[in-house]
Amino acid sequence: MIVSGAIASRDYQDVHHDAEAARAKGSPDLFMNILTTNGLVGRYLTDHFGPGAVLRKVAIRLGAPNHPGDTMELTGTVTEVDGGTVRVRVVGANGLGHHVTGTVTLTVPVTGGTAAP
């Protein structure tokens, strides 16, 4: 997934597809790029909020790298709801720590006056 995510996002930095090059640059292995992480965060939230959810703003920062074989667990906390606009604090953690942290703003369908999951 790390290599295919880098290729799909046209990120040809060698550290995302060449383990030897990554090691030569000080990393223990190749690692995931931010665009793949961004896609995983978006998918996590649209899977939760449903097919009517639309990502409006994604503000994430990378921390610990995701290497091959790592497991990243994404969690989200709704921090604000304003009609159909929802703001979610997202954390993606692996064995090394927080891989990604940030805030995502979505619009979701409104039912009964509140945002629907």
Please state, in angstroms and as integers, the Cα–Cα distance from residue 7 to each residue in 82, 86, 91, 92, following that order. 37, 31, 24, 22
Asked if residues 61 and 103 have their Cβ atoms less than 8 Å apart, the reply is: no
pLDDT at 111: 77
Tell me the domain boundaries of the chain.
1-107
pTM of model > 0.85: yes
pLDDT in tens, 1-35: 999 999 999 999 999 999 999 999 999 999 999 99
DSSP structure class, residue 48:
H
Range 1-107 has CATH code 3.40.50.180: no
Cα angle at 101 between 115 and 29, to 5 degrees?
Answer: 135
pLDDT in tens, 42-59: 999 999 999 999 999 999
* 55 token code pair: 């990502």
pLDDT at 59: 98
